[in-house]
A = this chain, B = another copy of it.
Amino acid sequence: MHQYLLFSPEVAAARAAGKPIVALESTIISHGMPYPQNVQMAREVEQLIRDGGAVPATIAIIGGKICIGLSEAQLELLGTSTDAIKVSRRDLPYVLSQNKLGATTVAATMICAELAGIQVFVTGGIGGVHRGAETSFDISADLQELAQTSVVVVCAGVKSILDIGLTLEYLETHGVPVISVGQRGFPAFFTRESGFNADFQLDTPAGQAAFIHTKWQLGLKGGIVVSNPVPAAEAMPKEEIDRITEQALGEAEQQGVSGKHVTPFLLSRIKALTGGRSLATNIALVKNNARCGAALAVAMQRT
């Protein structure tokens, strides 16, 4: 077993018993939501995965180890820490060799899941091509990870603070398949529709699993995006989120917020401007993805 991997008792037992396992990221806990909603969300999502017949494995970097499955205390630590480092591909060796506390992004969670032999990973949304990337070259490392690391990422699409059209072009160029569930459209995180279509609509876990197995059996390395729209009852109205996003983008420009500071600024402004309703939607979509991911992990083990 890999020297950097440390499995929780629950995940170790699941591995020994050959049960389906679903990976979860930890940046959403440390950086994506306020305490205590973040830790509560994490626990509820883990339980939803158990209810779906799989075993949850939340991933974080603690004490020089890649922890696959976290204890209650570790979840609490991540949820309350103010110095957890957001870990992408380039940061993994730093956080491990310097013994720092690290919360894994989509890219780093994919890497750790692959190292741990976990094929399905549930998150809220993936990173993408930022608005203005034509000149800023600001493109999330998540996309290159999808191009090379063989893990399925179940998400609610891409936040509309990013450039969704350019994100889909980038994925196409790199041969990353984008599946949608229950509709043809590619979802936009807070809303069910982005105005763009996914590549393929595959509604059943069995159909998704057949696609994924075929890709990997062909030796085609890399991830698959399974985009699962937020339930209609919990989605935000598209006009509202569009208007608020435009407002937040304008404020960022006026206040000279740039580079790495833009995304956290926008997310925080969107949360404030929606009076907290964006947080409720965010929690709802992650839970919805947990159900989808658990069913997929079960189906993938059956086929």
- Chain A interface (Cβ within 8 Å of chain B)? 2-4, 88-94, 96-98, 107, 111, 115, 129, 134-141, 143-145, 147, 166, 169-178, 199-200, 207, 210-215, 217-220
CB-CB under 8 A from A4, the residues of chain B are: 214, 217-218
The answer to whether B166 touches A220, judged by C-beta atoms less than 8 angstroms apart, is: no
Known: A215-B92, A220-B92. A210 touches B173 (CB 8 A): no
Give min CB distance, A261 to chain B, whole Å: 13
Cβ contacts A to B, 26 pairs, < 8 Å = A3-B217, A4-B214, A4-B217, A89-B175, A90-B199, A93-B177, A93-B212, A93-B214, A93-B218, A94-B177, A94-B199, A96-B214, A96-B218, A97-B207, A111-B218, A129-B137, A134-B134, A134-B137, A136-B166, A136-B169, A137-B170, A137-B173, A138-B169, A140-B173, A141-B172, A145-B175
A211-B89 contact in complex given A111-B218, A111-B220, A218-B115, C-beta closer than 8 Å: no
Residue contact A215 to B91, C-beta cutoff 8 Å: no
Is the pair B175, A115 in contact by a Cβ cutoff of 8 Å?
A: no
